[in-house]
Structure 1
């Protein structure tokens, strides 16, 4: 999937925010994983960006104690400035910034999408975030907590740099009720399910069974808006089997990715949300069979292929850049042992 733009008007001048649309020109990747890093720990930014996640979100909200909000805000602003004006200019692969404590560090940036989660913009800290970050080099996206209505998104769009996409968190009962409206707002790139906060508001346990209805509503809203849907994190980063099982259920439900709170979770999440080479090959076979049949129902290997099956196959192919398939099968192993190496 690629990312395009949906526009809005700002002072009579049309501006656009990047957002994922199948017909868009690209440049803003779909995400299997969003790795969070605390905003008041800038010494961790490098490791997060190099952890292999599709996106990194520097968190100014829940991960930062109230007494360190200002420090975190300054660290993020400095990092964003360095990211744009690093050695060699804005497209450099290296950026230098000053860590808390005064030491200079050089950070390697990759095609990883960089997001910043601000505080609730209706709060005093959120207002300070918006004022500070509006003057900064924009990240790829802003993650918006506690989004309740489409008006919240539109308000954020007017207060944050227009070059950044918006990623609302659906983590309140009212936000869940208005998820379709939220997903339809200009500039929204994806929806993230914030199950822990929602569970508290609902008086529910943050377990799979208790939240499957809410998860389904988020997936439904994202699908109507043509957006990715990213599932809540698993807090138990020491138990990968539980993460793998939960991620698999989320993928079956329609989620396209999952939040990570530890780098060790990233490869597990990618293993679930990346189509296997076999899935990609099968999807190509289905699309080719549909093309040969002229769009009507057709049998393939004893199974009926109709429009829903073809659409599912196309979705796999659209995300197949995560799972490249070789044009030719690997060579057969030699029938005789290879001669010993000269090394």
Structure 2
């Protein structure tokens, strides 16, 4: 799939799959029963967990099979060790190279990641969702597992588990833990929970970027333009970074100079990588 145009569940892209996983800003969760596979998001994830009522799981999996016949698909799968989770893994094995990757719901720890990795075709990309207090405490180990490509924050279930409000201050500490765990493990920045009201998509993305996140889950296509605007480096910021790197400081510099240059380089590299996809 491309990262800059309307995409389906797995349309061809000139960019290597690992780069798409690491750079993807928007991850659209959609029920397989919803029909269309087109989306403006960077990645379309067919949701076999919350996207399907209990009595229609098999029907949803059959829809995923049909979608995979057109292009490789991403799936959100149910928790490891559950009946639905094992059925989802069986489908993933059946799809083989038509499976682009999985988003693992309710990841409890690195053992869950290990189980998923061992149950799917070798090298399958895994995004692990942190959705409980216990999982947050295990986030460093989850992120450090070799099969984990990114972490994602399941804000709704996390709030239900902890009693926290849907408030930026309340959620700033758990968000920071996911960012630190990802950075320490050397993987791409985490994926935030859905933005909430569509009109707040850009503002939510800007806040997430400030926290160290590099993407977000999405539930509606209308939220994608705002999210992309927030997660994509602004041209003015890129220009300022280039100007900084092209300038030789006059006189001595303090200890903040080298980190400032590093941030400028990182911003330019991300902007160029997104533009190339």
TM-score range, shorter chain: 0.7 to 0.9
SS at match of 2:23: coil
2:270 matched to which residue of 1?
319
Q: Could you tell me which of 123, 142, 147 is aligned with 2:107?
A: 147
Long gaps (5+) in structure 2: 1-15
Distance apart, 1:244 and its partner CA: 2.6
Distance apart, 1:29 and its partner CA: 5.0
Paired with 1:29 and 1:175, the residues of 2 have a C-alpha distance of 22
1:106 matched to which residue of 2?
none
1:8 matched to which residue of 2?
none
Structure with bigger RCO (C-alpha 8 Å, 6+ apart): 2
SS at match of 1:162: coil
Count of residues in correspondence between the two structures? 258
Check if 1:44 corresponds to 2:36. yes
Q: Could you tell me which of 20, 26, 34 is aligned with 1:33?
A: 26
Q: Could you tell me which of 232, 244, 250 is aligned with 2:193?
A: 232
Paired with 1:75 and 1:297, the residues of 2 have a C-alpha distance of 63
How big is the alpha-carbon RMSD for the aligned residues of Structure 1 and Structure 2? 2.4
Q: Could you tell me which of 130, 140, 145 is aligned with 1:185?
A: 145
Q: Structure 1 residues 27 and 60 mapped into 2: Cα distance closer, same or farther (>3 Å)?
A: closer
1:276 matched to which residue of 2?
234
SS at match of 1:58: strand
Q: Structure 1 residues 188 and 323 mapped into 2: Cα distance closer, same or farther (>3 Å)?
A: closer
Q: Structure 1 stretches (4+) deviating beyond 6 angstroms?
A: none
> Which has the larger share of helix?
2
> Which has the larger share of strand?
1
Distance apart, 1:280 and its partner CA: 1.1
1:221 matched to which residue of 2?
181
Long gaps (5+) in structure 1: 1-17, 21-25, 85-113, 326-343
* Higher Cα Rg, which structure: 1
- TM-score normalised over the length of structure 1: 0.70
- TM-score normalised over the length of structure 2: 0.85
Distance apart, 1:27 and its partner CA: 6.1
